[in-house]
Amino acid sequence: MRKEDLIVVPEDLKGIYERCAPEHIPIATPEMARFLYTMVTMLKPKRILEIGTCIGYSARWMSKAIGKEGQILTVEIDKEMAKQARENFSKGDYQNITLIEEDAKIVLYDLVRKKEKFDFIFNDGPKGQYLTYLPYFEELLNEKGVLICDNMFFKDYIFTEEDPPPRKHRTIIRNMTDFIHKISYHEDFTTTFLDISDGVSISYKGGSKK
Ligand SMILES: C[S@@+](CC[C@H](N)C(=O)[O-])C[C@H]1O[C@@H](n2cnc3c(N)ncnc32)[C@H](O)[C@@H]1O
């Protein structure tokens, strides 16, 4: 058996990651997608918010897990990505996904203003913005809701303090490190990190205080 054989991929999502990786289309690894799928299946959220749709790969995985009773709102800033995602959603039974083509910050502001609530947030958007988005996530997440963030370890750059990384990554690293400290000691969230894919955080809103 090979390690990749452990990841069961739905028939219509097979091979997408392998096709996207050489073209540098930044979708979740099958390992991360399967993890998301399992979390959504377990937690049965009624409403999911995703930041960073790309071509809709992770949204399609979550759509299968959430079923017809649930709804996914996914946000993508890039027109070409959004177009491809729409095409991909039209290829199957993905009516439970709604795509908003806009900057996430504007959408988050608007959702908070309208007092919208979600049971599950998957943050896979711009890595330098996690810290900025956090207050919105706090507002938007229901009690007992779950926030999952991908790319938390940013190719392990966040662990390389003694070996300064390339200048172009420094702002992201600083923001990501601040986000990690904030979410780890946040009084409303209980957080843990998993070393899968590019690092993932799972934060539960509620539960025990530190
Ligand atoms: C890592 S990819 C998302 C992958 C996707 N979740 C998947 O696994 O299939 C990040 C996406 O966030 C989008 N993005 C970047 N900045 C954004 C912003 N300010 N608002 C909304 N989307 C943004 C990028 O265009 C890119 O498609």
Instruction: Give the model's pLDDT for residue 161.
Output: 67
> Which atom of ligand 1 is nearest to 129's Cα?
19
Question: Ligand 1 pocket, 66 CB below 6 A?
Answer: no
Domain contains 134: yes
- Give Cα separations from 151 to 101, 123, 160, 161, 195 (angstroms): 22, 9, 15, 18, 10
Domain contains 65: yes
CA angle 17, 20, 21 (to 5 degrees): 85
> pLDDT tens track of the chain, all 210 residues?
888 888 999 999 999 998 998 999 999 999 999 999 999 999 999 999 999 999 999 999 999 999 988 999 999 999 999 999 999 999 999 999 999 999 999 999 999 999 999 999 999 999 999 999 999 999 999 999 999 999 999 988 888 766 677 888 889 999 999 999 999 999 999 999 999 999 999 999 986 555
Instruction: Give the model's pLDDT for residue 155.
Output: 86
Question: Ligand 1 pocket, 57 CB below 6 A?
Answer: yes
Q: Could you tell me the distance, in angstroms and rounded to a whole number, from the CA of residue 78 to the centre of ligand 1? A: 8
Helices within the chain (DSSP H only): 16-20, 30-43, 57-66, 79-90, 104-113, 130-140, 170-184
pTM of the model: 0.96
Instruction: Give the model's pLDDT for residue 93.
Output: 93
For the chain, how many structural domains are there in total? 1
Question: Ligand 1 pocket, 126 CB below 6 A?
Answer: yes
Instruction: Give the model's pLDDT for residue 14.
Output: 92
How many residues does this entry show for the chain?
210
- The first and second tokens of residue 171, run together, are 């702002």
Domain contains 129: yes
Question: Ligand 1 pocket, 124 CB below 6 A?
Answer: yes
Q: Could you tell me the distance, in angstroms and rounded to a whole number, from the CA of residue 142 to the centre of ligand 1? A: 23
Range of the domain at 40: 3-205
How far apart, in whole angstroms, are the C-alpha atoms of residue 44 and residue 208?
Answer: 22
- The first and second tokens of residue 59, run together, are 């949204």
- Residue 9 belongs to a domain with what CATH number? 3.40.50.150
Domain contains 210: no
Question: Ligand 1 pocket, 128 CB below 6 A?
Answer: no
Tell the residue nearest (CA) to atom 27 of ligand 1. Answer: 54
Domain contains 40: yes
- Count the alpha carbons within 13 Å of 189 in the hemisphere toward its beta carbon: 26
Tell the residue nearest (CA) to atom 25 of ligand 1. Answer: 78
Question: Ligand 1 pocket, 30 CB below 6 A?
Answer: no
Instruction: Give the model's pLDDT for residue 166.
Output: 82
- The first and second tokens of residue 19, run together, are 């096709």
Question: Ligand 1 pocket, 77 CB below 6 A?
Answer: yes
Helical pair 30-43 and 57-66, crossing angle rounded to 10 deg: 30
Domain contains 34: yes
